[in-house]
Structure 1
Amino acid sequence: MKSLQEQIGYNLKSIRKMRQYSLDQLSGVTGVSKGMLAQIEKGQSSPTVNTLWKIANGLGVSFSSLVEEETSGISIVRREEKAALQDVNDKYHVFPYFPYDQQKKFEVFLLELLPGCRHVSQQHLSGAEEYMFVSEGEMAVSIGDDYYELVKGDSMKFTANREHVYENKTEAVSSCFLLIYYP
């Protein structure tokens, strides 16, 4: 079984080769340096969530297509077996649960926001929608000038074509399941 770093590197290199991009061309479409992309492909770097979003958006692919192995049939996801992707401040953890499915056009993640977390999420592919289901604690979501407070059991849907911010202003871990739909 590949580590998460190795899987990301393998998937990125596969997509790049399939599109016949050089590392320079990939850097041009993603805005990520050629050196960083080379390190990611070799499994020598753990890219941040924002870096992975830049790569996914630049390539026009789903986030999970960079992090998951292709599976079929029945899938059971055990939280303790999933490795988290972390943001630079180590307070925002993303657990890829179900990778993007071309036919269904969605992917599912578990997000954990540690106390004091403020994560700015880049806009996603045009028309992408996020469906959030708060499973623990409280979190705030800002989209442009709009601000929303959610608690355990609340859900929210929005078009993710603008920068959006997730915050945990409490002293406890907050989490939500996030389904991203790509029309």
Structure 2
Amino acid sequence: MKEIHDIVAHNLKMYRTDNGLTLDNVSRRTGVSKTMLSQIERGDSIPSITTVWKIANGLKISFTALIKSPDQKVDIKKKSELLEMTGDDGRYRLYPFYPFESGHPFEMYQFEIEPGGVYAAEAHQAGTEEYIMIYQGMLNLKVQNEDYQIGSDMSIRFDADVPHVYTNIGDGILRGTMTIYYLEQML
């Protein structure tokens, strides 16, 4: 299985060249420096989840468009076989179970957050919704200035076109699923 930074490198470069974009164009759209983009495309840098989201949002493409292996055609998936994305010094882990595919306007991930771990997500494109279901632990989800506590066997849906922050406020690991739904016009 390819390393995640090699897949992101390939997908970013393919998208950029297929759309006639320069590194400067991509940098202006995403807020990620040309130097960092160049390092990512060469596979010299492992981008953070936040950086991949910035690139996806700036280019108006799905997160999975950047992390999906071109040869990933699997019907049954095991977490142990998926590419693990990390943030907050490894205290936040994201597993892409069902990446975005043409004709399917959603992505589904499993996530884990260690006690005290935080993941601050940038606003997604207008019209994007997130559906979160918690299986273990206690999540504090901040959407704009409102805090919501979601525990085991609970779920929440929210408009994700605003910044939002996931925090594990429990004593143990937090586990849940995240489904990101995109409007048809964004596909």
TM-score, shorter chain, exceeding 0.5? yes
CA distance in 2, matches of 1:173, 1:41: 34
Q: Say whether residues 1:166 and 2:142 are aligned partners.
A: no
Match in the other structure for 1:12: 12
Which sits farther off after the overlay, 88-97 or 166-175?
88-97
1:88-131 deviation line (CA, Å, top 9, x unaligned): 43211111111112212111111111111122110001100001
Match in the other structure for 1:134: 134
Structure number with the higher helix fraction is 2
CA distance in 2, matches of 1:118, 1:94: 12
CA distance in 2, matches of 1:51, 1:72: 22
Residues 23/72 of structure 1: CA separation in 2 closer, same or farther (3 Å cut): closer
Residues 135/70 of structure 1: CA separation in 2 closer, same or farther (3 Å cut): farther
Match in the other structure for 2:105: 105
Q: What are the equivalent positions in structure 2 for 1:1-183 lying under 5 Å apart?
A: 1-70=1-70, 75-183=75-183
- For structure 1, the 5+ residue unaligned runs are none
Q: Root-mean-square deviation (CA), in Å?
A: 1.4
CA distance in 2, matches of 1:137, 1:170: 6
Which sits farther off after the overlay, 99-108 or 50-59?
99-108
- Which SS does the other structure have where 1:10 is aligned? helix
TM-score normalised by length of structure 2:
0.93
Counterpart contact for 1:114–1:168, Cα < 8 Å: yes
The one-letter code sitting in structure 1 at the alignment partner of 2:89 is: N
Residues 178/159 of structure 1: CA separation in 2 closer, same or farther (3 Å cut): same
1:154-174 deviation line (CA, Å, top 9, x unaligned): 111111011011010122110
- For structure 2, the 5+ residue unaligned runs are none
Length, aligned pairs only? 183
CA distance in 2, matches of 1:118, 1:74: 31
CA distance in 2, matches of 1:6, 1:70: 11
CA distance in 1, matches of 2:39, 2:83: 19
Counterpart contact for 1:48–1:88, Cα < 8 Å: no
Query: Percent identity, aligned pairs only?
Result: 33
Which sits farther off after the overlay, 134-143 or 52-61?
134-143
CA distance in 2, matches of 1:83, 1:73: 14
Question: What is the CA-CA distance between 1:73 and the residue it aligns to?
Answer: 6.4
Counterpart contact for 1:141–1:164, Cα < 8 Å: yes
CA distance in 1, matches of 2:68, 2:76: 14
CA distance in 2, matches of 1:73, 1:3: 17
TM-score normalised by length of structure 1:
0.95
Which sits farther off after the overlay, 128-137 or 77-86?
77-86
CA distance in 2, matches of 1:29, 1:88: 25
